[in-house]
């Protein structure tokens, strides 16, 4: 997978894509290209299948990464771990959204606080999120609510991001590139 033409990380990068699109691997390559970083994982182990997915992700990353698991307080974790020397890769925003929905938190407030806080981090951050609005309309009210919140979350983060990339079939397409 090609990460050119970018050789450095802007303050906030958003990587979007569908399931198994290559978005996480692309995000990892971006951070590895500048020497590696902290992997902020939002997934929680709810069943054996998810445990296996997490194991595979860790195995693929290897020892180059410091992994922090934080399912809810991601802005605090980003503030703690982002530094100019060590960027943070957050994977993924849609799992975080699921977590805050399950915790019955105010999603609009959480989204606003996150978007506002991203510009105040001490180092670069790469955020991964699923684009769930390209498929069929979910058949359940919860599914439609999740899709709507995910769309608004992605828009809020893309609005403050310096770079936004959509990955499909392992191919990155730059949607937004803000130059300093």
Active site residues: 57
Residue-wise DSSP of 96-161: HHHHHHHTT--HHHHHHHHHHHHTT-SS-EEEEEE--TTSPPPSSHHHHHHHHHHHHHHHHHHHH-
Give residue 17's Cα distance to chain centre. Answer: 10
**Taking the chain, what is the end-to-end CA distance rounded to the nearest angstrom?**
26
152: Cβ–Cβ under 8 A, 6 or more apart, which residues? 108, 111
Alpha-carbon distance 131 to 21, whole Å?
10
């Amino acid at each position: 997978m090609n990460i050119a033409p970018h050789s450095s990380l802007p303050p906030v990068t958003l990587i979007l894509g569908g399931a198994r699109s290559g978005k996480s691997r692309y995000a990892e390559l971006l951070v590895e290209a500048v020497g590696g970083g902290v992997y902020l994982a939002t997934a929680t182990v709810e069943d054996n299948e998810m445990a296996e997915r997490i194991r595979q992700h860790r195995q693929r990353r290897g020892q180059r990464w410091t992994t922090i698991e934080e399912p809810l307080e991601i802005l605090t974790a980003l503030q703690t771990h982002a530094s100019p020397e060590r960027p943070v890769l957050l994977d993924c925003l849609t799992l975080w959204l699921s977590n805050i929905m399950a915790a019955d938190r105010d999603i609009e407030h959480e989204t606003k606080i996150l978007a506002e806080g991203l510009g105040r981090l001490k180092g670069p951050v790469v955020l991964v999120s699923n684009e769930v609005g390209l498929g069929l309309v979910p058949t359940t009210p919860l599914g439609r609510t999740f899709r709507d919140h995910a769309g608004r979350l992605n828009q809020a983060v893309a609005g403050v991001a310096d770079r936004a990339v959509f990955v499909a079939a392992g191919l990155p397409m730059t949607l937004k590139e803000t130059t300093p």
